[in-house]
Structure 1
Amino acid sequence: MIIVLGVFLRLYHYFINRSLWLDEGYLTSSLLNFNFQQLVTKPLDYQQKAPIGFLLIVKLFLNIVGNNLYGLRIVPLLSGLLSILIFIPVTKYFLKSTGILVAMAILCVSPAFVYHSVEIKQYSTELLCSILSFYLFIKYRTLNGVKEIIIWSLGGAVILWFSFSAIFILGGIGFGLSVYYVINKQWNILFRSFIPFITWMVSFILLFVFFISKTPDAEWVVSWFRFYGDFMPLPPKSVSDLSWFFTSFYRMLDYPMGLLWNFVEAGTQTHSYTPLIKMPFLPFILLAAGIYFCFKNSLQNFNVFVFPLLLVLLASGLELYPLTERFWLFLTPIFIILIGIGLDGLIKAKPLKIIMVSLLLISPIIQSFQSITSSATFYKHKKSYQKELFDMINKEYRDGDAVYVYWNELPGFKVYSNLKKYKFKVTEGQDFRWNSTNLADYNTKLSSDFKKIKNNKRVWVIFNNKFLSNVGDPISMPKWYYENKNLPAANLKTELSKIGKFIKTSNTADVSVYLYQITNQP
């Protein structure tokens, strides 16, 4: 029933065909506009990065089914479905019956796993690659024959081309097993294991030299994550630095694990005790117990789980990998299994197990049903209405109308104009922020844009009220622009009122549309 529910949730959200949000649009731009060779050789639009294998297989499906949202999301969907199927034998190896139940339930119904299974980004595929890495470990770790050595070597080497984060999982498995073999003086299997480990290393080096190193570094990305505290303090130098560990793992229990009780209504006042009433205690206790029992019962399994975590934390401390929201997703199989081990080892009485399982799974189950009954609130910070508003304009557009797209909504519109054939043409707004010294100067330059539309009868104006900067912009710069409370929406309305009369508006969480009747026409 759990597996069926997990499959149903993914298919449901795939077929409702939600609008792309801006971050999806950034990557989609290259997938639609580049051919196979360009995906391999050119930097992606909007400074995006994605594994080369992921890009090529998505492009393959687009060529087969055509440029549409369903084609874009086939690979994440298949990754999500395969993750469920392959996680079954992985959980059976590490866990007992109750732990298996809990582990499969978390993966199947927790909202982040469902959401990323229909998001055109690489995170669902990276989760699949993590699960595949552990599956290869349990299947071929003994290296008893040439066949096992070849499959484990080539399997890990291929996985790296579909997942940036797989280097942490495979590298951690390699380090963990090597330490285990040295401690137990198992020299024969240690030397045999060097074959797959070195093969993985060679694969990663080739990937890095020919592809990753040729992608331009984006210092602004590092500055962005540093500003929001998404890198581990290395070394921790204060109480605030130490609190990073609790805060980050607490947030991880919410997104992507989905285990916190998010029953506090949105918009209500947040109190200091709010994190406590979300019940983080149970998953934290089970996670700690799982680490203990895993170490006690199997040092090999303990090393296989802990060393990937250590590598990720080290990379985060070196500001090579942020730890927030979706960036935790590929690590979740480790946390899920450790929670299952803790549950299996800590609680023996059946009535108590039933209570603990119910308390642990109540939040992801409720959230999964809410994602269907109230899809507008399903990860609403990523909910977009671009498709709906563009379709509305296309339906209500008249001859003589103009459509003006403000600069911060151009990435989204350009993607949808490739996916759909709209009957209207647009005037693309220019970004005058960086060659303006103040608001008055900005508005003078903005009026040059309006000269292109003032001879029309009406003008539809589209702008994004959520993403107020461009990819690569320094945070809150230029200063004059972001200190002004009238920018961009109120100022845009004021300037438009000089050439037209406001008729109506359509406001959503991320995109707004204004319709103006042009006055003083020639």
Structure 2
Amino acid sequence: MALIARRDLRSDRGWSRILPGPSPSRHPGLLSPRTIETGPAQERERSAPPGRGPRDLRLCGAREGVEPGWDDGRVRRWVLVFLSLGVAMRLLRYALNFPLWNDEGYLALNILERDFAGLCRPLDYGQVCPLLFLWAVKAASLALGFSEWSLRLVPALASIASLFAFRHVAGRLLRGSSLALAVAVLAIGYTPVRYAGEVKPYATDLLAALGLIALAVEWLRRPERAGPLWGLAALGPVAIGISNPSIFVAASVGLVLAVPVLKTRSRHNLAALAVFGLASCATFLGLLAWINGPQGDHVKGWMGLYWANAFPPRSPGALLGWLVAAHTSHMFAYPAGGDHGSSTLTTCLVLAAVVAYLRRGPGRVLALLLAPFALGLAAAAMGRYPYGGSARTMQYVAPSIILMAGLGAAALLARLPRPSWRERSPRWALLAMLIGGLGQMAWDLAYPCKDVFFLESRALARRFWAEESEGAEVACARTDLRLPLDPLRWEADRAVMYLCHQAIYSPRHAAGIRPRLDRVGAKHPLRVVVFNETPTEAAAVPRWLRAAGGRFQLRARREHRLDLEFRRGRRVSGDRYVVYDLVPSEAGPRPAPGPGSPEVGTVATTDVSRGGETADRPIRGAGGDVEDD
């Protein structure tokens, strides 16, 4: 076992009297200008006295502290490759402008229909979202116009920023091949890339967690400086405001740093940590009382059913199986994985990293990485926040998982029997992830949507609003005329997507202009649109015509249909745009035809699913809602 030695490393004279074994001149990788490795138990607890430089908290895969062939230059090149790839994957996802899908549409419609104050109230459509995220996306949509681009701008920027924040944290905690492997996992990870292009707060969950961990690590490196703690005091309330689960990370940081801060006996450190704790607690409790609590109560009934499997069972036997399933499924799906234990490999890598930290330290870094799991599990036991049911709700532990997966992979590869295998195997793993990332980009280019139905639905909406708005005054029966349509049906996913598409692709709605009924004439008709009209709603427009006192008469009634009735063996509804062409009445007041009359009972249908054919066919009601996984 070596002894600690600090001296001028430009000369190796005298080392033979200090270190047993071969001369360092024959093994230049054994010693580094920064440190001399010690025994396993003390290897990373080394620290510089105050004022003499930062502590080195980094671990590598090899227990000896040396990985042949993985010098700093090679590691930097691989890290640069994957940072570039990660940015490219996220920008491509954003640039491809995937169509909105149901879960995005629910949140987007809340942002569309409410002002900043309105977003403080419980959200519609069963949504729960942090207030600062809602305000940030609302500000972007007001500045740039309501569109997929503006709605997804904040998540895209947060995801790209997370790459560089993670690179910084990983550089403080890892070295050698483990650093390159960890950055690669985040760069190509399916979940981080996906949520860079969706109107959901999961990308900001990851960024908030990384920001808090980064500042905590900076203080652990230089405990004589209070700057990182003051940074935590400023960031804590913002992180909690923009990311609901970041409270677990903030609380973990406070608990892990409390004892070492007290040991410093520095008034500046104590004051900064106290401000961080008080500000974070005050922000969390205030939001819980006025924003997050009412949001949660509003959806508590159905959300408890939806996330039932993400809360621990009470039976001890079932609890063990639940814990195994939770930690080998979606939560650990980095860079990929899923249900039924398909993320077991990542779990094994994390366990290998835990063993490495227990053997070589530093213990506080391990506590910092594991504490968010413990607090999240405690919250799940109290029924307050789901644990492990999905990768998206667990983004606050993604930094810990990915950092430890990188270290664990390097540690296991360093145990291979042949030196050539130990040197080359990290390269093979990195090349495999590079190919995987490029393949994911190719897949996105070939299949730019979550489901082809959403792509075709958006194409129909884009074409419909452009064509029907030409030479006519288009009015939505629900949003413009306020006709009494079934309110429950308008909370369903297809109606929500219709309203989002209307706000984006209808020229008049996008411009925020009210319909001009005074412009209606024989050559400029009024076109009233009813989406997915049911038989009970077919009389709504005729009743409105009668209430208008014969001012307008019905000239034609048409349908534009996206007929996708069977998907995955189930009957689902397509999209049906029913258009009533109205012109000023020439014969004076007269009752409008009823829904059973020949004029209304037969329609001209544009069937998008059959190449845009037009034919007369009877009116049909809508089927069931589109099912989404």
Secondary structure class of the residue paired with 2:559: strand
**Deviation digits for residues 74-95 of structure 1, max 9, x if unmatched?**
1111101111111111001111
Partner of 1:369: 439
Among candidates 454, 457, 460, match of residue 560 of structure 2: 460
Among candidates 420, 426, 429, match of residue 529 of structure 2: 426
Partner of 1:477: none
Q: Hey, what's the Cα distance between the residues in 2 that align with 1:517 and 1:399? A: 24
**Deviation digits for residues 36-88 of structure 1, max 9, x if unmatched?**
22223x32232322111111122222222222221111111110111111111
Partner of 2:132: 53
Structure showing greater radius of gyration is 2
Task: Write the letter of the residue equivalent to 2:179.
Answer: I
Partner of 1:332: 398
Q: How does 1:289-368 map to 2 (within 5 A)?
A: 289-296=352-359, 297-322=361-386, 323=388, 324-348=390-414, 349=419, 351-352=421-422, 354-355=424-425, 358-359=428-429, 362=432, 365-366=435-436, 368=438
Q: Hey, what's the Cα distance between the residues in 2 that align with 1:18 and 1:282? A: 31
Structure 1 residue 188 corresponds to structure 2 residue 269? no
Aligned 8 A contact 2:216 2:257 in 1: no
- Return the TM-score normalized by structure 2: 0.64
Q: How does 1:16-27 map to 2 (within 5 A)?
A: 16-27=96-107
Partner of 1:438: none
Aligned 8 A contact 2:168 2:214 in 1: yes
Q: Hey, what's the Cα distance between the residues in 1 that align with 2:217 and 2:322? A: 33
Partner of 1:492: none
Q: Hey, what's the Cα distance between the residues in 2 that align with 1:154 and 1:249? A: 33
Secondary structure class of the residue paired with 1:73: helix
Aligned 8 A contact 1:14 1:70 in 2: yes
Q: Hey, what's the Cα distance between the residues in 1 that align with 2:403 and 2:164? A: 15
Structure 1 residues 226, 39: closer, same or farther in 2, change over 3 A? closer
Q: Hey, what's the Cα distance between the residues in 2 that align with 1:422 and 1:450? A: 26
Q: Which moved more, 1:23-32 or 1:210-219?
A: 210-219
Partner of 1:265: none
Partner of 2:25: none
Structure 1 residues 464, 27: closer, same or farther in 2, change over 3 A? farther
Aligned 8 A contact 1:290 1:339 in 2: yes
Q: Which moved more, 1:243-252 or 1:67-76?
A: 243-252
User: Higher RCO, 1 or 2 (CA under 8 Å, sep at least 6)?
Assistant: 1
Q: Hey, what's the Cα distance between the residues in 2 that align with 1:298 and 1:377? A: 45
Partner of 2:616: 517
Partner of 2:328: 250
Q: What is the CA distance between 1:156 and its match in structure 2?
A: 1.6
Q: Hey, what's the Cα distance between the residues in 2 that align with 1:412 and 1:513? A: 21
Structure 1 residues 139, 383: closer, same or farther in 2, change over 3 A? farther
**Deviation digits for residues 124-179 of structure 1, max 9, x if unmatched?**
1111101111111122345535544432212222211111011011112222333x
Structure 1 residue 77 corresponds to structure 2 residue 156? yes
Q: Hey, what's the Cα distance between the residues in 2 that align with 1:223 and 1:464? A: 31
Q: Hey, what's the Cα distance between the residues in 2 that align with 1:447 and 1:65? A: 39
Structure 1 residues 428, 359: closer, same or farther in 2, change over 3 A? same
Secondary structure class of the residue paired with 1:211: helix
Q: Hey, what's the Cα distance between the residues in 2 that align with 1:376 and 1:21? A: 18
Partner of 2:218: 139
Aligned 8 A contact 1:79 1:117 in 2: yes
Q: Hey, what's the Cα distance between the residues in 1 that align with 2:606 and 2:422? A: 58
Q: Hey, what's the Cα distance between the residues in 2 that align with 1:221 and 1:486? A: 24
Q: Hey, what's the Cα distance between the residues in 2 that align with 1:367 and 1:404? A: 46
Aligned 8 A contact 2:99 2:458 in 1: yes
Q: Hey, what's the Cα distance between the residues in 1 that align with 2:565 and 2:255? A: 47
Q: How does 1:475-490 map to 2 (within 5 A)?
A: none
Aligned 8 A contact 2:131 2:241 in 1: yes
Aligned 8 A contact 2:188 2:433 in 1: no
Aligned 8 A contact 1:287 1:335 in 2: yes
Structure 1 residue 448 corresponds to structure 2 residue 536? yes
Aligned 8 A contact 1:106 1:361 in 2: no
**Deviation digits for residues 360-396 of structure 1, max 9, x if unmatched?**
7736842552343454657846972232221243466
Q: What is the CA distance between 1:247 and its match in structure 2?
A: 2.4
Aligned 8 A contact 1:160 1:204 in 2: yes
Partner of 1:225: 306
Partner of 1:389: 460
Secondary structure class of the residue paired with 1:459: strand
Structure 1 residues 67, 342: closer, same or farther in 2, change over 3 A? same
Q: What is the CA distance between 1:403 and its match in structure 2?
A: 9.5
Q: Which structure dedicates a bigger proportion of its chain to helix?
A: 1
Secondary structure class of the residue paired with 2:206: helix
Secondary structure class of the residue paired with 1:458: strand
Structure 1 residues 20, 519: closer, same or farther in 2, change over 3 A? closer
Q: Hey, what's the Cα distance between the residues in 1 that align with 2:612 and 2:325? A: 38
Structure 1 residue 416 corresponds to structure 2 residue 493? no
Task: Write the letter of the residue equivalent to 2:301.
Answer: W
Structure 1 residue 33 corresponds to structure 2 residue 33? no
Structure 1 residue 4 corresponds to structure 2 residue 84? yes
Q: Hey, what's the Cα distance between the residues in 2 that align with 1:245 and 1:360? A: 30
Structure 1 residues 85, 254: closer, same or farther in 2, change over 3 A? same
Structure 1 residues 422, 461: closer, same or farther in 2, change over 3 A? farther
Secondary structure class of the residue paired with 2:107: helix
Residue segments in structure 2 that go unaligned for 5+ positions in a row = 1-80, 479-488, 509-526, 543-553, 575-594, 620-629
Aligned 8 A contact 2:105 2:500 in 1: yes
Structure 1 residues 242, 329: closer, same or farther in 2, change over 3 A? same
Report percent identity of matched pairs.
19
Aligned 8 A contact 2:352 2:412 in 1: yes
Secondary structure class of the residue paired with 1:427: strand
Structure 1 residues 515, 135: closer, same or farther in 2, change over 3 A? farther
Partner of 2:171: 92
Q: What is the CA distance between 1:344 and its match in structure 2?
A: 3.6
Q: How does 1:127-206 map to 2 (within 5 A)?
A: 127-141=206-220, 142=222, 144-145=224-225, 147-178=227-258, 181=260, 186=263, 188=265, 191=270, 193-206=273-286
Task: Write the letter of the residue equivalent to 1:458.
Answer: R
Aligned 8 A contact 2:98 2:450 in 1: no
Partner of 2:38: none
Partner of 2:336: 259
Q: What is the CA distance between 1:121 and its match in structure 2?
A: 0.9
